[in-house]
Amino acid sequence: MTLNRAFVMGHPISHSRSPMLHGYWLKRYGIEGSYERLDIPPQDVDTFFSRFSEAGWIGGNITVPHKTAVIPHLDHIDDAATKMGAVNTIWWEDGVLVGGNTDAIGFLGNIDELAPGWDMGAKRAVILGAGGATRAATYGLLSRGLTVALCNRTVSQAEVLASHFGAGVSAHGMSELPDLLATCDLLVNATSLGMIGQPPLDIDLSPLKKDAIVYDVIYVPLETELIKAAKARGHRSVDGLGMLLHQGVVGFNRWFKIKPEVTGELRQILIDDIRAKSPGA
C-alpha cells in the first residue's frame, strides 16, 4: 500500500506547529499517511517541484517565504489565492495541481466557533495592518457582507490593499482610528504588534462600541494585552490560535478525503506546546 504523503514547506520551518495539528488528525482517524516538515531554501523550490510527482506527494502547506514563489509551478490557483496574492495549500484535482489559500477560512472558522452569531447584524469592521493576515481577514469579511476599514501607520500600504479589493474597503491612517472604532462592529489586529518579542500594540479602546468584538490574530502569547483590555471592557474577544486550527481543515480534507474536527483536545495540545516553548505565553 502506498503511503499518502503531505507536507509543510518553508525556510526556516522548525517552528511550524502544522505537523502537530495534522499528525493529531492522522492518528485520530486511523489514516495511513504522513505529514512532513520540509526546510526548502528559495533556490531549491524549482528542483522540489520538478520531482513533485515522482516523490508521490498528495499535496501540502506552503509557508514563508514560498507563498508566491510556488505559483508558477501550479496548474491553477483558486479565487482566494488570486485575491490574496499568495498560496498556502496545494493539492491534486483530476490530475491538475491546484493552489489555494485557506487563511480566510481559518479566520472565519475561528470567530464562528468562539463568537457564534457574531455576524448577525454586523456591518463594519476595522482591521489594523496591511500585510498577509490583513488580506485574509479582508477577503473573509467581505464574503460575509461587511465593509472593511484598513488602518495602518503607513497609509500608502493600506491604500494599495484597498485598491486591490475594491468596493467595500477603505484606507485610513491611525489618526482616524478613534472615529472608526465608534461605529465598528469588529476590530481586528492583523499586525505582529503585541506578539512575544515584538513591540506592544498601543491603542485606546475607549471609543470602541460597547457591543463590538475584538479579534487578535496573534496567539503567542495566548492572551495578548489587546484581548485582556477588551475583556476588561466587557467585549467579546477572539484569539488567533483557532485560525491555525481551522485553516488546516481544508487541506487535510483535500489530501486525505476526511473533513477533520477541531476539538478541544487538539486546541489544548497546541496550547500546552506554546506554553512549553514560549515562556510568558
C-alpha cell belonging to residue 257: 478525503
Q: Does the annotation list 133 as a binding residue?
A: yes
Task: Report, as residue numbers or ranges, the catalytic residues.
Answer: 67
- Three-state DSSP at 143 gives helix
First to last CA, the chain: 42
Could you tell me what percent of the chain has a pLDDT over 70? 99
Fold agreement between 4-101+242-277 and 105-239: yes
Contact 227, 214 (CB under 8 A): yes
Q: Does the annotation list 125 as a binding residue?
A: no
Regarding the domain delimited by 105-239, which CATH topology (the fold level of the hierarchy) does it fall under?
Rossmann fold (3.40.50)
Q: Does the annotation list 45 as a binding residue?
A: no
Tell me, what's the pLDDT at 3? 83
Whether the per-residue pLDDT at 245 is higher than 90: the answer is yes
CA-nearest of 188, 278, 169, 275 to 227 is 188
Q: What are the tens digits of pLDDT across the range 40-84?
A: 999 999 999 999 999 999 999 999 999 999 999 999 999 999 999
Regarding the domain delimited by 4-101+242-277, which CATH topology (the fold level of the hierarchy) does it fall under?
Rossmann fold (3.40.50)
pTM as predicted: 0.94
Q: What are the tens digits of pLDDT across the range 116-126?
A: 999 999 999 99
Q: What are the tens digits of pLDDT across the range 200-240?
A: 999 999 999 999 999 999 999 999 999 999 999 999 999 99
Q: Where are the domains of the chain?
A: 4-101+242-277, 105-239
CB count in 10 Å sphere of residue 92: 16
